[in-house]
Structure 1
């Protein structure tokens, strides 16, 4: 269970699920003094590396930057202003990108889906390591692509990783989001009907 002072964010699930999944939530309050251990960083990347992929193509690629480095500042500068405010305190920013074409130039149509699975594996391992993760789609794709030392990848998300801090370090409305209850649509709203006859 993730508890920061009086904040408990464990999901109210319809049936029990693994605590690593029910306890995970996307904090914006990171401890600006926390240093990510090499072993922890390796563990989250290793979890991502072993995600499943179509025909074992492994299309995911990662750019790892640690706070206080020029590389971190470069990635931070591509984020939307509202994300920069809090993401600057994260111990690391990890860009998750996908190779959407194989070495033969053929399209890899499942690359984005597969890279998403790698990011999910990363987030669960981070939870197991006692770390907080916040995945961000709010970035300038062209700018981020220009700072990556690769021309054959598409950046999909920037992941802030670090140690969760107390929500009081954030200004409103961000502080309020830290304490707001988590919510999801009920399972029944997510299910699609299958037409056996195809009509």
Structure 2
């Protein structure tokens, strides 16, 4: 007997999944008046810290900055043009970096592990009633220079965190993108081998 599709969440999943996951999405419209509490930001980073890692090597590092700080502005300056247009309204930005030299013989899993850390951070933010948007559109060299990163620290992604806003304060093109229907490939297209 098949489980019914979940319909009381933002995403119309084909099978029931945890509501926290079924409600997750990545808006670009953030409430520019929302200030993230320092403890909330630290709890998001703590969730990332406790992500699984191959051999417990924890091959990751984070740069976290709240809006209104020079560090926040330095991260925004390193973003691609479109991302620079909406991220200043976010409450905080986190740079996720990999540290391959920390991985030892587990080097093959560094990026997988970093992705786990970002996913854990994302879910903690959702748990706190916040939204995140992850980005690959940024200049890693600009981040490296702005924060004087050692050669082994490789910026891989940037996460914007904040409270979603769909009011007229948010530019129309951002509101339109945020309101568009979310779709995923059917699970049958993703299964390489059926169980």
Output the TM-score relative to the length of structure 1: 0.87
For 1:128 and 1:20, how far apart are their aligned partners in 2? Answer: 7
- Kept in 2, the 8 Å contact 1:92–1:161? The answer is yes
Corresponding position of 1:4: none
Q: Taking structure 1 as reference, are residues 103 and 120 closer, same or farther at Cα in structure 2, changes over 3 Å only?
A: closer
Tell me what 2:81 maps to. Answer: 81
CA RMSD of aligned residues (A): 1.8
Q: Which secondary structure does the structure 2 equivalent of 1:24 belong to?
A: coil
- Structure 1's consecutive aligned runs of 4 or more residues displaced over 3 angstroms after TM superposition are none
Shift of 1:9: 6.9
* Partner in structure 1 of residue 120 of structure 2: 121
Partner of 1:69: 69
Q: Which runs of 5+ in 1 are unaligned?
A: 1-7, 195-199
Distance in 2 (alpha carbons) for counterparts of 1:74 and 1:186: 39
Which residue of structure 1 lines up, in the alignment, with residue 34 of structure 2?
A: 34
Range with greater deviation from structure 2 (185-194 or 84-93): 185-194
Residue pair 2:40, 2:128 contacting (<8 A) in 1 also: yes
- 1:146 positional shift: 1.5
Q: Which runs of 5+ in 2 are unaligned?
A: 1-7
User: Which has the higher mean CA deviation after the structures are superposed, 167-176 or 137-146?
Assistant: 167-176
Given that residues 9 and 25 in structure 1 are in contact (C-alpha distance below 8 angstroms), is that contact kept between their aligned partners in structure 2?
no
Q: Could you tell which deviates more after superposition, 164-173 or 15-24?
A: 164-173
Change (3 A) 1:32 1:101: same
Q: Does 1:142 align with 2:141?
A: yes
